[in-house]
Structure formats: structure tokens, C-alpha cells
Amino acid sequence: MSNNIKLTVRQLPVSLFFALTVFLFIPLNFFIANYSELSVDYSVLIRKVITTAAVALLVSLAASVASFFINEKLNKGVQSLLFIAGVFVFFEYLFIMPQVGLLNGEPFNVKNHIGAAVADIVFLLVSIITAVVFFKKEAFLPFLRKASLLLVVMQTIVFATTPSVYNFEANQEQNGIYSFKYYGFDLAEYNVYSKNENIAVVLMDGFGQGVFEELLKKYPEYAEIFKDFEFYKNAVSSRGSQGTSAAIPALFTSINLDGSIQHNEQYYATLKKIYSADTALLPVLKKNGWTNYIYPWLSNIMYLSPSVMDNLVLKPRNSQGKSNKLYRKLIKKVVAFHAFPVIRKKSPHKFLTHITLAKTQKFLPFAKPFYVEDDFYNKFRDKISTDNEKKVFKYYHLHGLHEPYMLNERFEVENISEGKDDPVELTAKLYMTMLKNYLNSLKKAGIYDKTAVIFMSDHGMNRLLSPLQRGRENVANPLLMYKNFNQEQKEMKIIEDIYPDVSDVSDLIFYSAGITDKKLDIPEEENNKKILEEFRLNKLNEIKTAYLKKSRFDKKNITAAKPLKVRIYYYTLNGKNGMLTVSGEGNAPDGINKKPVKTYFILTNKKGTYLVTRDVPFLVLDSGVYFFGFNFIAKDVPTGKYDLKFLVEDNGTFYSLETGIKEVAIDKKIKFVFDDKTPGK
């Protein structure tokens, strides 16, 4: 009996090292490092990890003991394999995982980690060869046992003394740049205003000045809604081409970010710096006694701080309610990830779908709980509450004129993007009703004159989707209207002689708050004017060149074109207007990746060929993914069914983009027919 106990004890060190390293220490360190990425109950997860490690210990120990009774050589082999597995995973943890182990949504290109992938293989081969060379040595097993005990003690000490193990959540919330992962928004005060002073910004994403102007021409009665407002006809979003990710930081910080915007560590570090600056909008308002309530559509383009935002709440960690099966699957995936992690992370979307357990999309937290248009409409249909006596600042970021269009004329949530009516016009009209209701609710509450209001957008529309865009609408010309306290006029005042940027809007807020005496200070006005004129000219040219025209395009170019596999990233069809964005990964010729290329959108049938061609820049991400968008108008194309050929040309060589669109049907509107089924977008 005592011999059996001694035998079992001798098998224990290697089994202990294997089980604790592979199934306890390494997974726990991974889960701690990726705390912000996992929507799980950590108390349950840790219990599952400990249980899994205990089971692994019993199984590995039983295998070692059983192998001893079968064959001593087999026992040596089993312990060698367990030790090599533990050491290999420990090596990955120390040297490879710091490079690839964070699941924070960063672009990942395996080419940048070739050295780490090679090191994986080399270390494993060296470990196996070393074990084979010393396998017959008498001191081999005693060495494995001593090394195992040493590594277990070392890991225990390191794990127990790492501050982040016990204080990780607090450290991340105070210092982390990815603040939107920790905070949500308390909506209790959504329609509660101050009896004394209020400033409200209602931002409608993508709702440009040009669309508003065309809407007023078609429905002049809407102007009465805004009779007390100043309409800045030449407002500018100087970084509008970079979209919301650049414009919203400009609004809150008065700083226009340089370069192309990518949601990476540098972007979020910059956001933390500029949102926290003493001169930024919310810190200044807070310093001057204002209570700040923000309701963003996209919180991932802000730095969220409870010191200046009064309605932040910590996101619950166990809101998803995971089953035991999913927890076990998560642990299994994490353990597997530590074997050759560089290779396993090559296809991150497939992997992360499982490992994050239904986490919201990386850097795109679109889903409610945030209020959207139907809620904004319903919350301000009746008299609002004025329980608050503090000075209140409100910021509402609504979906605006972004696709998809999700409200019907009865203000019910319904996708009207491909309805018979122009969804852009219908949505714009719904917004007029919403804004009218909002202003009426302020009047009913007796605080209309005590509320300064800014209606604005972050940029104009950048896709040709509606006849309303055929005026002066362009991405650099956002809507901007302003009403100060006690401002009454007979009609809306149109201001055309100044060019305020989105980054200058905080001046209007500070002016209403009594913090500054000057309504607008526009240091870059000449540059703003130049930008706007340039975009207006480009937009006119874009509209002119977007019409599909009858052509005698040489069909030999179609036949000779080399296939270039892409996927449809996004498409929108509205009547005879369309917009198609395609993307690919790593398979585009270098010339196409590095410069604008001539692109041909060709519809052809027996009766004729219709063509629109444009020079289109490919936007290439650090991850190697490239994509580009293409507008087209089929107003002059006869009714019928057409084959689609989508070509790009680089130095005389044609490439055919394989989009999966089998046929284009044109009647009163455009319709795509796909090889298999219509893509989700």
C-alpha cells in the first residue's frame, strides 16, 4: 500500500504542473487580460476554470499511474508529453501571448508575427528533441519532477502577487483607453430638464445641409418650425470624409484629428487625451456648474469619464446569462488558443464569435439600450419633466439619414430602405415632425426660452441615394441651426457669410452658457471655405458622372479580365439610385491597393451596354483588408434584366470583381439578384 502511495506521489509533480499551467494559471491570466472583452459572470467562470483544472489533474495523474503499471518506458513517455505540453503553453504565455493575446479588436495581420509563429514551432521541436536525447538518462524523470515543482511554485507566486489579478476592473476603468467597454448610460433623465437653464444638442447623423435645403424647397411649411433659429448654410465638417469617427471628437474637443481614422490603440489613446483636456467641451461645462447628460448613438468614438458625464453607469458583467455548456466551450477555446496562437488568430472573426460569447461587435456597439428615433419621438410627444434645478446640458446623437432607414410614416420600427417611396425623403420628413414635437414639448413645459438648442449633423451624406441630394448636398456640409435663450424671430435667419466647422460648435455652447462673450471664433475659416467649395465641386462632378450611359465598351476587356474575388460589404438601392461597397483581403494586386484605379460598372444585355466609370481609391486597412464604394444612377437605363460586370483597371490590365450578383433587374427601381441569397446588408 505504501509503495502505491509513493508511486502516486512520484507521478504527481508533472501532472500537477501540466494541469495547473494549461487549465488554471494560463486561462485565468488570459481572462484577466481580456476582462473588458468578455460578457460573462466571472464568479461562475473562475469556478468552471478551477473545476476543469481539477478534472485535468485527476485524468493526467490517472494516466501516469496507469502507464507505470503497463510499462515503465510508457510511463516515462506519458510524463514527458505532459511536461512538454505544459512547458510549451508556458512559453506561449511568456513570449507569444503578449503580442497576440489581447482580443481588443485591433487589426491583426499574421505577416507581422511570422517571427513569433516560427518561434512556436522551433521551441516545440527543440523541446521534443531534448526529451528524446535525454529520454534514456536515469536522471531524466527526477529532473522533470523537480522542474515541474519549481515552475508550479513560480507561477503560484507570480499569479498571487500580480496586482491586476485583484484590482483589474478598477485599474481598467480608471486608466483604460477603451472606456466604452466599461460604461453604459442611465436613461432615467432622458427627458428631464432644468427649470432654469438648459443647453441641448440634437445631432442627426449624416443629415446634411443640402438635404435640409431641398426639403424646405419642396415643403416650405417646415421653415415655420425653425423660425427662431439661425441656419448656418455654409457649416463645414472639415473631416467629414472621415465620417463620424472624426466629427464627433471634433465637436467635443474642438480638435480635428489628422490622418485617416482607424479604430486602434493610437486612436483611443488620442481620444482619452483630447476628451480629458481642460479646454474640451464637457470639462469646461462641468467646471462652470453644468450637469452633463449624454446619449450617444456610438459610444466607441468618445472617451467616457464619470468625472464629466453625469449619466454613466458601469456595464453589468453577467447580463448575458451564459449556460454551463458555453462556459466549458469558452475554456476549451482558450486552452486551444494557447497552442500556436499566431496561426489560430489568423481568422479572428470565426474564433472570436465563440470566444467572446455573444459580445457586441468590435468597436460598433449599435444595439439598444441607447434610445433611437422612435424613442426620441415618443419621449417628447407630451409635456416633459422639469424637476432638475441645476444647469443642464443634453446631447442626443440620433441615427439621422444613415442606412438602413428603420421608421415608417407611423413612427413604427420597420425597415423602409427598399420601399416604394424615397426612404431618405420620408426619414427627413419624420425628423421634421420629431424636432417640431421636441420644441413643442419645451414650450409646454415653460422652458422654451430657458433652453438654448442646436440642431446639427456631424457630416452630410456621402452616398447618392435620393433626389434630395442633387442640390448642394455633400459630406463636408453638415446641418447647423442654433437658437439661444429668449431668442424670438419672425422667421428663420439664414447666415451665409461665415463658415463654422463642427469643431467650432462648442463656441455656440460656451456662448449660451455665458462662458465666452463671442458667439463664434473661427480660426480656420478660409480653409473651411476652401474645403466646402472643393467638396461641392466634386459632388457636382460625382453626380454628373454617376449616370449609367449607353456605351460601346470593348467586350474583349470583359472576356480577358482576371477574376478578383471580393465580397459585398454594403449595398443600398433607392429607386434608380444605388451604392455598392465591396471588400477583399490580401488578394488585390499591389497597384490596385496603392492608388485610385479606374473602375467600370457595366450593365449589358442583348439590346445594349450601359456603363459608368470612375477613378476610385481603395481604402486599405492595416490588417490587409481593402474596400471601396461606388455610386451609380440608372435613370437612363431601359427596363429589363442585365448582366453585371464590375471591372477595375490597373495599367491596362483588367480585373473582374466577383461580387455574387447574378443579375440586375431594372423597372421602376433597381434590384440585385444574387447567385445564392441576398446578403444581410
pLDDT tens column, 44-69: 888 899 999 999 999 999 999 899 88
Residues 363-381: pLDDT tens digits?
Answer: 233 333 344 567 788 889 8
What is the dihedral sign for C-alpha 208, 209, 214, 217?
A: positive
Question: Does a cis peptide bond (omega within 30 degrees of 0) precede residue 617?
Answer: no
* Residue 332 exposure: Cα atoms within 13 Å on the Cβ side: 7
Please tell me the total number of residues recorded for the chain in this structure: 681
Calculate what percentage of the chain has a pLDDT beyond 70: 84
Tell me what the mean pLDDT of segment 334-343 comes to: 80
- The structure's pTM equals 0.68
CA 625 to chain centroid, in Å, comes to 15
Task: Decide yes or no: CATH 2.60.40 for domain 549-674.
Answer: yes
Q: Where are the domains of the chain?
A: 2-175+323-355, 197-314+363-542, 549-674
pLDDT (0 to 100) of residue 468: 80
- Buried b or exposed e, range 530-565, using 16+ CB within 10 angstroms: ebbeebbeebeeebeebebeebebeeebbeebeebe
Domains 197-314+363-542 and 549-674 share a fold: no
pLDDT (0 to 100) of residue 208: 92
Does the structure show a pLDDT above 70 at 635?
Answer: yes
- The number of helix segments (H) and strand segments (E) in the chain equals 21, 23
Tell me what the mean pLDDT of segment 268-275 comes to: 92
| Structural fold of domain 197-314+363-542 | Alkaline Phosphatase, subunit A (3.40.720)
Does the structure show a pLDDT above 70 at 321?
Answer: no
Most confident of 101-110, 416-425, 514-523: 514-523
Residues 390-440: pLDDT tens digits?
Answer: 999 999 999 898 877 777 888 877 777 766 688 889 999 999 999 999 999
Cβ 624 vs Cβ 586: under 8 Å: yes
